Structure 1
Amino acid sequence: MFLKLNRCKAMVRLLLVNLILCCSVSAHADANDIVIGQSTALTGILAELGVAHSTGAKAYFDYVNSQGGVNGRKIRLITLDDAYDAKKSLANAKELIEKEKAVALFGMLGTPANTALLPVLEEANILSFAPVTGADVVRKPFNRRIFNIRAGYTTETEKIIDHLNVRGIKKIGVVVQNNAFGKEGLAGIEQAITKHQLKLTATVSINSDSSDLDKAVSAMEAADVQTIILITAGKPSSDFIQAFNKKVKGMQYFALSVLASQAGITALGKDGVGVIISQVLPFPYSATTTLVREYQKVMSKMGVKEYSYLGIEGFLDAKVLVEAIKRAGKDVNSDRIITALEGMGRTDFDGFIVNFSKNNHQGSDYAELTVVSKDGRFLR
């Protein structure tokens, strides 16, 4: 039964990937379209995150187009697969800018990709809207061409450290992925730790392919910590937790929002129960706000029954961008969208507040903690 369920979910993800790719390939219909470009992981270790985000965004753009578009023009989201490879993402971005004439880049996934993208934004004078990363590299120093919706890793890690401080937990271990994402996440942890006048008991690195898993587990076991914070994405997360649980029973794990995918939780199995994960978007599974109700309604119309945090993130990102495009007027370009975003101020998007200005391109600092239940669901 479990295998059949996994096969069904895999088939659904494959269909969604094919739908996104088909739309990207065939979406050259009208020169009057407003082209939005996205490079993300439709395959590879973070495929579920990329597919969910892109599907949520496309659902909203399609909904807007079905209502007549924006100022009489349709929005065309072109999504290219980079398999979470920064070099491929960079090549995709250049294709989207030079060949597809995108007026903005959207939902670019991952710290490595967004770091590599910085010089391109300058050269092409193009907007990067709602990058899917909490890294400071897209937040500091201030960059007029970058607008963030999701809270940064510093905000997420502060939420976790605040929780641990209240509980009186002092012996804290951190597992850091050996890439740009891991380094950025660790910087956030160190900042939050210093705020509470605490010190990390142990910091252990792990490769993205888990090739040094045994070494990482042994080092953390020797540190004798009370809790472990994972600054990891994809395979290393589940690999480490499962391997460490074989050595040490009853460990409490904390993870950032990049672990908030159903595939990640499914991969953990019984080892996922009790893992606490920070979130930067509203709980997408209960229709408690107008935004969540609209998200669920539009996704259901698309035939997507599995709601997700990355799905509602893509949906909200698209919703905010559409509002900026409306305010930009008929002659849409990056500079006009940037000006519209900076003039938006504090705006309520059906229960989710986004606040932009000329000096502030960080739209939200929303963060909360969720826990994985015995039946593999997220609970608030």
Structure 2
Amino acid sequence: MGKTRFYNLAVIGSFILVVLSSVAMAEDSLVLGMSTALTGPTAELGLRMRDGVMLGLERVNDAGGIQGRRVVLRAYDDGYEPQRVAQNLRRLVEDDQAVAIIGNVGTPTAIAALPIITSHGVPFVAPFTGAGLLRKTPPQRYVINFRASYVQEVTTMIRGLIEQGGIRPDEIAFFTQRDSYGDAGYVGGVTALQHYGLHDVRNILHVRYERNTLAVENALADLVYSPRNIRAVIMVGAYAPCAKFIRLAKDVGLKAVFLNVSFVGSELLLNELGEQGDGVIVTQVVPPLTGDGVPIVREYLADFKRFNQAGRPNHVGLEGYISTRLLQRALVQIEGRVTRELVVDALESLGSFDLGLGVALQLSPERHQACQQVWGTYFSHGQTVPFAWETLPKLLKAQRGTP
């Protein structure tokens, strides 16, 4: 009986030590949270964003962390489905005591997160979306964006198509995801087209597909059988359905240039398209990985190798890495206990600053989007390379097979 009692006490003692060890570890680290797609059709985007953030944290922790404390990431899977986000966010905010949420992937999932973000007063830093709902004026206190908006990306496309390519507004079609993400890109595109003389939105062909599916055939049929002379298709979707749409469109002989916003993940789209990718344009909200002389890209590539990250460097991972470096810049300014309110204050106090992107960034109480820049890339011979809009006429001729 005495031995049994001693054994039970030992087990209880071990359990208490484990609990105390976990508490001590939590107190010795700063926790960042992420709800993202780690499974499902959009998983590669979520995995790459997560890996980019973690690579940035490797650099932070290798340099001593924040106030001598390690910064750790807790990432939970939402499958790119809004209804799964609330549970993840409550776990991150209430149980894990995350000081900030970083790099959440997607517009509909970000919108689902906003009520919890607002009610708990937790910073929502650098979500992987360009939706206007996260870019209000005046800005929402707890939403801090890094990237340019979808409106800026699509406006850049339309400016290039019309001013450089000589394409009329009614020769541009939209292929979008049927949700808030697709709507954000389409509405931004229509607004831009109105500056170029569009008077009736019914003159613009808009075809759609359902989120987390590959059901693009009806959308393609609507485009192919349209009486309009479509010369460009602006795509606001995920990489797999966009790739399928492009392949099928080329198979049926559609002579148009295809343009994608950054959310598509250019490397993922290129992997899906293979040889059929040549000439496809993707706007980026980070510098091209081939950008010579861009310090943050050099550091990303060097850290990718130094910390032996799996896979290959990619634009989504680079965005996650830059987002972490942005948050780090604010965290190092906080003295004493790091609280969520102080994280927001520190981000807003950054003002105009340089992270090595080759363009100035700015955050303030009135501006919650750090970067305004959109870079152009396109696919050529199995590579993603920088694209200058001045060369668009040549690309359009190549797509139509004319000399």
TM-score (norm 1): 0.89
Indicate yes or no: 2:380 matched with 1:373. yes
The alignment's C-alpha RMSD in Å is 1.8
- Secondary structure at the counterpart of residue 151 of structure 2: helix
The equivalent of 1:245 in structure 2 is: 250
- Which protein is bigger by CA-based radius of gyration? 2
More deviation, 93-102/201-210: 201-210
Unaligned runs of 5+ in 2: 1-21, 388-403
The equivalent of 1:165 in structure 2 is: 162
Identity over aligned pairs, percent: 28
The equivalent of 1:187 in structure 2 is: 187
The residue correspondences of 1:265-344 to structure 2 (distance < 5 A) are 265-304=270-309, 306-344=312-350
Change (3 A) 1:164 1:365: same
Aligned-partner residue type, residue 27 of structure 2: A
The equivalent of 1:110 in structure 2 is: 106
- Secondary structure at the counterpart of residue 330 of structure 1: coil
Contact kept, 8 Å, 1:130 with 1:147, in 2: the verdict is: yes
Contact kept, 8 Å, 1:273 with 1:373, in 2: the verdict is: yes
- Secondary structure at the counterpart of residue 341 of structure 1: helix
Change (3 A) 1:352 1:331: farther
Aligned-partner residue type, residue 288 of structure 2: F
CA deviation map 1:59-86 (0-9, x unaligned): 1212211221112221111111222121
Q: CA deviation at 1:57?
A: 1.3
Contact kept, 8 Å, 2:281 with 2:379, in 1: the verdict is: yes
Structure 2 CA distance, aligned partners of 1:143 and 1:179?
22
More deviation, 81-90/320-329: 81-90
Change (3 A) 1:96 1:243: same
TM-score (norm 2): 0.84
The equivalent of 2:390 in structure 1 is: none
Indicate yes or no: 2:81 matched with 1:76. no
Structure 1 CA distance, aligned partners of 2:298 and 2:216?
42
Change (3 A) 1:42 1:261: farther
Q: CA deviation at 1:319?
A: 0.4
Aligned-partner residue type, residue 223 of structure 2: M
Change (3 A) 1:211 1:83: closer
The equivalent of 1:19 in structure 2 is: none
Contact kept, 8 Å, 1:159 with 1:368, in 2: the verdict is: no
Aligned-partner residue type, residue 235 of structure 1: A
More deviation, 225-234/209-218: 209-218
The equivalent of 1:362 in structure 2 is: 369
Contact kept, 8 Å, 1:33 with 1:75, in 2: the verdict is: yes
Contact kept, 8 Å, 1:345 with 1:355, in 2: the verdict is: yes
Q: CA deviation at 1:208?
A: 2.6
Q: CA deviation at 1:283?
A: 1.1
Structure 2 CA distance, aligned partners of 1:219 and 1:342?
46
The equivalent of 1:353 in structure 2 is: 360
Contact kept, 8 Å, 1:177 with 1:236, in 2: the verdict is: no
Q: CA deviation at 1:352?
A: 4.3
Indicate yes or no: 2:150 matched with 1:153. yes
The residue correspondences of 1:65-104 to structure 2 (distance < 5 A) are 65-104=61-100
The equivalent of 1:259 in structure 2 is: 264
Would you say how many aligned residue pairs link Structure 1 and Structure 2?
Answer: 355
Contact kept, 8 Å, 2:41 with 2:212, in 1: the verdict is: no
Structure 1 CA distance, aligned partners of 2:26 and 2:209?
47
The equivalent of 1:23 in structure 2 is: none
- Secondary structure at the counterpart of residue 69 of structure 1: coil
Structure 2 CA distance, aligned partners of 1:319 and 1:28?
26
- Secondary structure at the counterpart of residue 272 of structure 2: helix
Q: CA deviation at 1:286?
A: 4.2
Aligned-partner residue type, residue 144 of structure 1: R
CA deviation map 1:292-345 (0-9, x unaligned): 111111111121361111111111100010111111223111110111111110
More deviation, 297-306/119-128: 297-306
